[in-house]
Chain A
């Protein structure tokens, strides 16, 4: 068992850390305040290869693995959780499912543009009445000649509005419940496909979260992703991988809040000495650091299992469950250590605490993660 990072991983961390510090961090407060999608950052990440880390070189990607990708989401999220989720949803929920389930034509058509960041990807499963209960899907796909006709709507879709490629789940056989769902690739600008309401959120406010509307939206049959009625499987596998991304996002948020706190308690003086000289502060920091490190190894292990191509569903669920709770706990403590200043927008921990909450909710709530973990135990 070797817990050391490889030379490649160290070199990668050096690059992604610099990128996050120089390109991402300076925008984080403004992106949050203005609820602005940081498109310029996406345009910078493309040429570096950050938008296609685990995509093979043959399809225009960087040829990296899940672990490098995970470290990227962690570092980006340490600086700005919005930027982290843009890359995570794009990669885990759109590019990777096309890589794993797409046919050769689909891979050739979509992956090079996604991997270079020329196009942004998104994923649509959730509906107003189908959250955790994905079987309650009401979006339908009806075959008609060489096409499918999509009708319905999706909500809370990350990267919507800015994405060019959407993987959409729709019912092809309503009688079969989750076994009657098929996945489709829908391109921006397809007639009958429009973007609806944009959500105003507590955190990750720069990420675009919108409703997708399909009104007699005709898509060619070759845009079906995977086999008929296997959409739910594709969605669940995609979410397994996505959970590693969100776990990494939570880890990055927690690390960011911890680093900010370490800096602050050394500077801030009360009763004639820095906060760091008080044992309560020291104990708080020790607990935060221990939890963050524990989360980190759960996340890296889940990523490493995915790279080994063994079943990682339960480990991904544990990583996300734990890292999300650590993010919430550590950011809350970070605000507390900052006192009144921590509650203001002058310091980034206020934003980080708001950003942390979503990691306990999206791509499967913490309760769903517990269902996944216990289902394996009780099998």
Chain B
């Protein structure tokens, strides 16, 4: 089985602050990490590697510094790493990013394509599904678990609001994974020792298959109007009541606020 995992380097948002004047993220001095959902996806791939002897390629689009998370992925057990970097990719929104990644993925052979559900810096959850659309792949989002019949068919469990959904998909397909679905392993010491003597392939526009119009700033229809920190919500009221009594409380509260 061949697996490709898309990963992203993000600022550690547990450490991040927002500039109150400009409304933008203050990234200075904030450590960069591998996006947690992507790490969950990589862990899933590593478990499949152990089970089915899969080969894992990790790919990221980003500035040259994103090399760090590819080394981390290799130290965790990934076999091959590709850094997609080119000035022509800069300024990309989710659509342009997914086009660039899809352009690179057209050059790779895989049975399973894994992305994180969403990145903690933008929380859009769009790139994975967009890649699937560009490549015409079946996609299963919010994946919790999967098994493989050894030939072409994946049996997948996805998380939905009411419970779980059990699906089948033919390879190649794309899945998006939640960080909470997997407990990522630590980098292995041996992997760390070897990480910087291994190759990270650098791919630019010339190595991928995509229309240049779709890339970078000009391929990005999204415009950020305003970014702001959410006001803290006042704590709500908690009532412990039987259903019938609870309905009464809810109705009276809604009336109180002139909602009904």
- Chain B stretch 178-198: residues in CB contact (< 8 A) with chain A: 185-190, 192-196
Q: Which of B68, B193, B196 contacts A62 (CB 8 A)?
A: B193
**Shortest CB–CB separation between residue B10 and chain A, in angstroms?**
15
Taking the complex as formed, is A12 at the interface, i.e. its CB lies under 8 A from any CB of chain B?
yes
Contact surface of B with A, Cβ cutoff 8 Å:
68, 71-72, 75, 185-190, 192-196
A14 to B75, CA, bound (A): 12
Taking the complex as formed, is A193 at the interface, i.e. its CB lies under 8 A from any CB of chain B?
no
Which A residues touch B68, using CB under 8 A? 11
In this complex, which of A47, A49, A57, A68 has the most chain B Cβ atoms within 10 angstroms of its Cβ?
A49
A7 to B196, CA, bound (A): 8
**B188–A62 CB distance below 8 A:** yes
Q: Mark A34-75, 1 if CB is under 8 A from B, else 0.
A: 000000000000011110110001000111100010000000
- Chain A stretch 1-25: residues in CB contact (< 8 A) with chain B: 6-8, 11-12, 14-15, 18-19
Total residues of chain A contacting the partner, CB 8 A = 21
**What are 27 A-B residue pairs whose CB atoms fall within 8 Å in the complex?**
A6-B196, A8-B192, A8-B196, A11-B68, A11-B72, A11-B75, A11-B192, A12-B192, A12-B193, A14-B72, A15-B75, A15-B187, A15-B189, A48-B187, A48-B188, A48-B189, A49-B189, A49-B190, A61-B190, A62-B189, A62-B190, A62-B193, A63-B190, A63-B194, A68-B189, A68-B192, A68-B193
**B186–A64 CB distance below 8 A:** no
Which A residues touch B185, using CB under 8 A? 48
A62 to B71, CA, bound (A): 16
Which A residues touch B192, using CB under 8 A? 8, 11-12, 15, 62, 64, 68
Least CB separation from A64: chain B residue: B193
Main secondary structure of the interface of B (DSSP, over half): helix
- In the complex, besides A47-B188, A64-B189, 4 extra interface pairs with C-beta distance below 8 angstroms are A48-B185, A62-B193, A64-B190, A68-B189
**B194–A11 CB distance below 8 A:** no
A204 to B188, CA, bound (A): 27
**Shortest CB–CB separation between residue B33 and chain A, in angstroms?**
9
Which B residues touch A12, using CB under 8 A? 189, 192-193
**Shortest CB–CB separation between residue B35 and chain A, in angstroms?**
15
A61 to B193, CA, bound (A): 11
**B186–A53 CB distance below 8 A:** no
**B186–A8 CB distance below 8 A:** no
Least CB separation from B72: chain A residue: A11
Which A residues touch B193, using CB under 8 A? 8, 12, 62-64, 68
Q: Mark A228-262, 1 if CB is under 8 A from B, else 0.
A: 00000000000000000000000000000000000
Q: Which of A8, A19, A49, A52 contacts B195 (CB 8 A)?
A: A8
Least CB separation from A15: chain B residue: B187
**Shortest CB–CB separation between residue A37 and chain B, in angstroms?**
22
Which B residues touch A63, using CB under 8 A? 190, 193-194
Which B residues touch A64, using CB under 8 A? 189-190, 192-193
A63 to B194, CA, bound (A): 9
In this complex, which of B190, B192, B193 has the most chain A Cβ atoms within 10 angstroms of its Cβ?
B192
**Shortest CB–CB separation between residue A66 and chain B, in angstroms?**
13
Least CB separation from B33: chain A residue: A14
Q: Which of B75, B187, B189 contacts A53 (CB 8 A)?
A: B189
Q: Which of A6, A11, A50, A68 contacts B71 (CB 8 A)?
A: A11
**Shortest CB–CB separation between residue A41 and chain B, in angstroms?**
13
**A48–B186 CB distance below 8 A:** yes
**Shortest CB–CB separation between residue B215 and chain A, in angstroms?**
30
A61 to B192, CA, bound (A): 13
Which A residues touch B188, using CB under 8 A? 47-49, 62
**B189–A50 CB distance below 8 A:** yes
Which B residues touch A18, using CB under 8 A? 186
In this complex, which of A12, A52, A68 has the most chain B Cβ atoms within 10 angstroms of its Cβ?
A12
**Shortest CB–CB separation between residue A57 and chain B, in angstroms?**
6
**Shortest CB–CB separation between residue A167 and chain B, in angstroms?**
23
Q: Which of B71, B190, B195, B196 contacts A57 (CB 8 A)?
A: B190
**Shortest CB–CB separation between residue A63 and chain B, in angstroms?**
5
Which A residues touch B71, using CB under 8 A? 7, 11
In this complex, which of B71, B186, B188 has the most chain A Cβ atoms within 10 angstroms of its Cβ?
B186
Least CB separation from A7: chain B residue: B196
